[in-house]
Amino acid sequence: MEKARKLFIIGIIGAGILVASLIGANIALTSSTPNPNVGCLSLAEVKAIMADLPIPSYLPAGYTYKCGIADSGEAHVVFWNQTVDTSTYRVDPINAAQVSKGAIVVSMIDEPIANATESALAEFRSVNGTDTRFTPQLMNINGKIAWGNDLTTSGGIATAKFPDGKVTTNYFDVPARIRVFEPGKLTIIEGFVPLQEIAKVAKSLQ
């Protein structure tokens, strides 16, 4: 499975990439009547694939579990205050927070992190100061090192260079996000809600 990587100048960092052939993949489900839409699994189905995925005990008023996706070493679940059609809704592992504005996405990815502090600081330094509109901050989430950023209007920069030398630059909104580092694992909580709410969700994960 391809892991998420930093995108462009300020590091709009996605949660990870599930293989495009996830539809019809041979995923073991525990439900006796599994959801045929593997892009929108129940929480029990996701946990059957990635048992150590942490689930928040705190969510903003009106938010409940909607859908999730999982594969070996990677899972993404969506909590939202909107109604979704579970027969058609599909969790986008990279852009779920962008596509479903207002949703809170919790992701866990197995990563080769040996030293959590070194990894977190290296990533923080790589994105800090790249753009004055984007202001990441180091954080402590239940004793684990993390960095986060508040939602930022036009805080993302995407630059494309063409063979004729032409360069185009587009700006896009950045969701609030917290990335929590620990040996072997990266947990990401993000959404277009205030960072204070994302932090409450992050600290309630268990």
**Predicted confidence (pLDDT) per residue in 72-84, tens digit:** 899 999 999 999 9
- In this predicted structure, what is the pLDDT of residue 206? 93
- In this predicted structure, what is the pLDDT of residue 33? 54
CB 125 within 8 A of CB 192: no
Q: What is the pLDDT of residues 118-170, one digit of tens each?
A: 999 999 999 887 666 778 999 999 999 999 999 876 555 556 777 887 777 66
Look-up of token digits 């929108």: 40
Instruction: Please tell me the distance from the alpha carbon of residue 205 to that of residue 116, in angstroms, as a whole number.
Output: 18
Residue 190 has pLDDT above 90, yes or no: yes
Lowest mean pLDDT among 53-57, 93-97, 145-149, 181-185: 93-97
> What are the backbone angles phi and psi of residue 200, rounded to the nearest 5°?
-65, -40
- The reply to whether the predicted model has a pTM over 0.85 is no
